[in-house]
């Protein structure tokens, strides 16, 4: 858990007279993380770990399953696109459910959908049924989209000075999933001749047993993280929020509100770019490795390293988010994601391809943690689920479109063209983030302008 830290408060007034959340006037308060927050954080992190073994199956096996069922390289991005479509559809409704009924309700629904969707994908492979595969991807994607409220729950339980690290601890749970997934795939390959089940379909039949413990852990959360967010002063003695702590409130939550506030516009743009970049590179990584003769277990290991980049460093990233600020970390993430996009398709070497996919994951992670903290800084607990849901909704648009574009692009101009496109996606967020003003972590000058 994050260590206690002295928080020094000043006036912290922005260019519009907005005092950032949690700033204290002429006071020093040593915030100690309460035991109930630590216990809930562990439960959320373990839940993320069990879920992570399932989410990794999409980049590891999705393109190969599509290729096997359709015999078309042009459609290999369809699996990733289906998951993105599901997440696009569910992100805002998940946030609305989360804000109205609590974070637990939204996460439980998501886990139930994951338990239902994973076997549909496995059976689709076994039965060679493309319609069932599409349905399975959609249902599983809806579940994974709702489970994104895990990070909202993490952000809820921490004040701004610890928010990055708190979010990072929960997201690091997916690292365990990254380690377990290759084992599941290897086990499926070993058992498939005995069971007579396709090795691309069998891993999906294991996923419900992996998600069930997460369901039990979420049920055990006490209290709901949203209740902690509404009463931070109760759990952190000495913590005081300023009279006006947020930009997005019950009466203003909307895409228009978020994009009209320069800090959240920058965060949404960065999220959109790294999500699109990663969705493209996830599916071309397995294709690039297969094209150069690397076996399925090696492909799974490479994708696992990508997922380690996504989640293995979320705690130090969260520390940097709290120490250096949201802007600096997002800038670094965008640079790494662009560099990784170039490495994946430009070399036949396993090490270089894997390094590229690792950097894509690490860059995404930096933006993901920092953007979550920034949007949580800017929204009240009553609307935080929807605010982050809006960000997720629009960040998945390129995740839907770009994999579908990247398939034909790779077929006509090769995988290198996809890598160049991934790099170019990073240019808009780099420009916006360069001009973002964050005098200290979590404090923003909202009148920042280009020029």
Asked if residue 39 belongs to a domain, the reply is yes
Gap between the Cα atoms of 183 and 203, Å rounded? 10
Task: Name residue, tokens 């920092």.
Answer: 370
Helix (H) / strand (E) element for 365: namely: helix 350-377
How far apart are the two ends of the chain, measured CA to CA in Å? 41
Gap between the Cα atoms of 158 and 32, Å rounded? 10
Q: Give the three-state DSSP class for 15.
A: coil
Count, residues in the chain: 451
| Residue 21, both tokens | 């959340």
Gap between the Cα atoms of 425 and 428, Å rounded? 7
Q: Over the chain (451 residues), what is each successive 10-residue block's mean pLDDT?
A: 43 35 43 92 93 78 85 74 84 95 96 95 93 93 92 94 92 81 83 87 91 94 94 86 59 81 95 90 76 75 83 94 97 96 87 92 96 94 94 85 77 81 94 94 67 33
Task: Name residue, tokens 């084992």.
Answer: 183
Gap between the Cα atoms of 435 and 449, Å rounded? 7
* Residues in CB range of 131: below 8 A, 6 or more apart: none
Displacement of CA 301 from its chain's centroid (Å): 20
Report the number of distinct structural domains present in the chain: 1
Q: Give the three-state DSSP class for 99.
A: helix
Asked if residue 375 belongs to a domain, the reply is yes
Read off the pLDDT of residues 419-449 as tens digits, 9 standing for 90 and up. 889 899 999 999 999 999 999 888 888 654 3
pLDDT score at 285: 78
Which residues are bridge partners to 30 per DSSP? 6
User: Between β-strands 28-31 and 5-8, what pairing exists: parallel, antiparallel or unpaired?
Assistant: antiparallel
The phi, psi pair for 154, rounded to 5°, reads -65, -45
Omega cis (within 30) before 223? yes
DSSP 277-329: HHHHHHHHHHHHHHHTT--HHHHHHHHHHHHHHHHTTHHHHHHHHHHH-HHHH
The CATH code of the domain that includes 104 is 1.20.1250.20
Asked if residue 451 belongs to a domain, the reply is no
Asked if residue 286 belongs to a domain, the reply is yes
pLDDT score at 344: 85
CA 253, 258, 262 angle in degrees (round to 5)? 150
Helix (H) / strand (E) element for 444: namely: strand 443-445
Asked if residue 214 belongs to a domain, the reply is yes
Q: Please compute Rg for the chain using Cα positions.
A: 21
CA atoms within 13 A on the CB side of 407: 20
The phi, psi pair for 260, rounded to 5°, reads -85, -10
* Residues in CB range of 38: below 8 A, 6 or more apart: 1
310 contacts 172 by C-beta, under 8 angstroms: no
Range of the domain at 369: 5-445
Asked if residue 320 belongs to a domain, the reply is yes
* Residues in CB range of 251: below 8 A, 6 or more apart: none
Asked if residue 450 belongs to a domain, the reply is no
pLDDT score at 241: 67
C-alpha to C-alpha distances, 78 to 154, 285, 328, nearest whole angstrom: 31, 15, 34
pLDDT score at 2: 53
Gap between the Cα atoms of 364 and 356, Å rounded? 12
* Residues in CB range of 413: below 8 A, 6 or more apart: none
- How many H helices and E strands in the chain? 21, 4
Asked if residue 425 belongs to a domain, the reply is yes
Read off the pLDDT of residues 286-299 as tens digits, 9 standing for 90 and up. 778 877 777 777 88
Gap between the Cα atoms of 397 and 399, Å rounded? 5
pLDDT score at 155: 94
pLDDT score at 78: 77
pLDDT score at 331: 98
pLDDT score at 447: 53
Helix (H) / strand (E) element for 68: namely: helix 57-70
Q: What's the DSSP call for residue 243?
A: S
Other CB atoms within 10 A of residue 122 CB: 26
């Amino acid at each position: 858990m994050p260590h206690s830290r002295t928080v020094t408060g000043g006036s912290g007034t922005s260019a519009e007279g907005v005092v950032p959340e949690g700033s204290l006037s002429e006071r020093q308060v040593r915030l100690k993380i309460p035991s109930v927050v630590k216990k809930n954080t562990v439960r959320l992190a373990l839940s993320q770990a069990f879920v992570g073994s399932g989410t990794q199956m999409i980049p590891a096996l999705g393109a190969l399953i599509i290729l096997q069922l359709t015999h078309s390289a042009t459609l290999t991005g369809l699996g990733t696109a289906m998951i993105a479509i599901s997440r696009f559809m569910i992100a805002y409704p998940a946030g609305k459910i989360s804000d109205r009924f609590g974070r637990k309700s939204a996460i439980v629904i998501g886990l139930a959908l994951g338990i239902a969707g994973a076997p549909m994908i496995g059976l689709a492979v076994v039965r060679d049924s493309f319609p069932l595969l599409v349905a399975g991807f959609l249902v599983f994607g809806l579940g994974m989209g709702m489970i994104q409220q895990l990070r909202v729950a993490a952000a809820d339980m921490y004040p701004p000075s610890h928010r990055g690290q708190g979010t990072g601890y929960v997201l690091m749970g997916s690292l365990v999933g990254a380690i377990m997934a290759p084992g599941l795939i290897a086990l499926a390959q070993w058992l498939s001749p005995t069971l007579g089940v396709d090795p691309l379909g069998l891993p999906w039949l294991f996923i419900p047993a992996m998600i069930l413990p997460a369901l039990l852990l979420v049920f055990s959360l006490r209290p709901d993280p949203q209740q902690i967010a509404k009463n931070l002063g109760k759990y952190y003695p000495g913590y005081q929020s300023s009279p006006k702590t947020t930009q997005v409130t019950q009466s203003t939550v909307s895409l228009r509100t978020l994009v009209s506030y320069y800090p959240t516009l920058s965060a949404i743009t960065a999220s959109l770019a790294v999500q699109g970049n990663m969705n493209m590179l996830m599916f071309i990584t397995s294709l690039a490795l297969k094209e150069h003769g690397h076996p399925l277990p090696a492909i799974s290991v490479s994708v696992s390293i990508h997922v380690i980049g996504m989640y293995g460093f979320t705690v130090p990233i969260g520390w940097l988010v709290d120490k250096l600020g949201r802007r600096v970390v997002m800038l670094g993430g965008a640079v790494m994601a662009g560099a990784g996009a170039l490495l994946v398709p430009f070399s036949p070497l396993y090490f270089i391809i894997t390094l590229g996919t690792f950097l894509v994951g690490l860059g995404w992670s930096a933006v993901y943690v920092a953007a979550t903290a920034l949007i949580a800084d800017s929204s009240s607990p009553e609307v935080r689920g929807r605010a982050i849901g809006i960000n997720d909704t629009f960040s998945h648009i390129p995740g839907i479109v770009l994999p579908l574009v990247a398939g034909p692009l790779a077929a006509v101009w090769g995988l290198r063209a996809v890598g160049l496109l991934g790099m170019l996606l990073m240019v808009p967020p780099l420009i916006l983030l360069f001009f973002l003003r964050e005098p200290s972590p979590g404090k923003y000058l909202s009148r920042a302008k280009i020029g």
